[in-house]
Amino acid sequence: MNVIQTKSLTKTYNGKGGISDVTLSIGEGIVYGFLGPNGSGKSTFVRTLLGLLQPTSGEGYILGEPIGTIKSREQVGYLPELFRYPEWLTGKQLLQSHAELCKIPVRSRNKRIEEVIELVGMTGRENGKISGFSKGMSQRIGLACAILNDPKVVFLDEPTSALDPIGRKDVRDLMVYLRDQGKTVFLNSHLLYEVESVCDHVSIVHQGDMIVQGPWRELLMTETKVEVVTDLPIGTNLPAFVTQYQKVNEELTRTRWEIQLENESDIPKIIQYLSTNGTAIYEVKPIIPHLEDVFLYWVNQKKENAYVDNQ
């Protein structure tokens, strides 16, 4: 079942900015990364899905309900990027107010509030006034709000922006916990190293356009990189499947090369080619890309295409 589905969903401000033509389908039980630099339209997209912004065109559904309807928000949690909560309330009072709005039954309300307070690591501090909370504590109480109604889908917009390394790890663990419980986490972030370990699927957005989407480890399968250590220079007349190569370093009788191939099946071929040409191979190591590499690759691709189009 698609938890989130959009068809050419567009939100622009007087024809400018925002985000355009986003079509995606997100299933249940995954952490979905919606990645892009600041100002790329990530928050606009989430706020449109939540009915806070009116879409310019296109359609969107959350758990099968059209966005903007009350039903579409019944099983949803949200931590905004610019989290601000009434400062005159205590953390617990804030959660009680949200519990009322979510119509959590009175008899299970306090138990649930205690559960989420513990989950976000705020036990013992929940009775403090929000005005006295640090940014990190506010973000934690915001996280508690987001998961209070045990939602099927949670939107987290830059959830670690105010947290220290321990807090960031806690949030990553929380996302994994939610995923393991079958929840869908829609994660907006520009901190790629932060989300790499928890995200399975990603969309990459740049300047209001969605460039690519899919399981992020597969998004760089269009090219494969290997690191090879040889005794000799590998020469200049390499086979056509080698798209690029460069010397990384040279130490006495060993030379380290980074070779870019057309695809993964070319790895045995390059080993065979080098061996038949009398090159001794000491090490071959596929270079596993990081999410940042995937991101930069696709953003650069977009820039190149835009440049070609302009020409």
List interacting residues with another protein (CB under 8 A).
47, 50-54, 70-71, 73-74, 76, 78, 80, 82-86, 88, 97-98, 100-103, 142, 145
Q: What are phi and psi of 129, to 5 degrees?
A: -70, 140
13 vs 193, which CB is nearer to another protein? Answer: 13
C-beta neighbour count of 218 within 10 angstroms:
10
**Taking the complex as a whole, how short is the minimal distance between the CB of residue 30 and another protein, in angstroms?**
21
77 vs 289, which CB is nearer to another protein? Answer: 77
**Taking the complex as a whole, how short is the minimal distance between the CB of residue 36 and another protein, in angstroms?**
20
**Taking the complex as a whole, how short is the minimal distance between the CB of residue 153 and another protein, in angstroms?**
12
> What is the bridge-based pairing of β-strands 153-157 and 242-251?
unpaired
**Taking the complex as a whole, how short is the minimal distance between the CB of residue 80 and another protein, in angstroms?**
5
75 vs 255, which CB is nearer to another protein? Answer: 75
d(CA 212, CA 80): 24
**Taking the complex as a whole, how short is the minimal distance between the CB of residue 223 and another protein, in angstroms?**
40
**Taking the complex as a whole, how short is the minimal distance between the CB of residue 19 and another protein, in angstroms?**
13
Token pair, residue 28, equals 């249940």
102 vs 205, which CB is nearer to another protein? Answer: 102
**Taking the complex as a whole, how short is the minimal distance between the CB of residue 79 and another protein, in angstroms?**
9
103 vs 135, which CB is nearer to another protein? Answer: 103
**Taking the complex as a whole, how short is the minimal distance between the CB of residue 74 and another protein, in angstroms?**
5
88 vs 307, which CB is nearer to another protein? Answer: 88
* Residue 111 burial (C-beta neighbours within 10 Å; 0-12, 13-18, 19+): exposed
51 vs 208, which CB is nearer to another protein? Answer: 51
Residue 226: partners with Cβ closer than 8 Å, 6 or more residues away: 258, 259, 261, 267, 270, 284, 285, 286, 287
11 vs 179, which CB is nearer to another protein? Answer: 11
> What is the bridge-based pairing of β-strands 209-215 and 201-206?
antiparallel
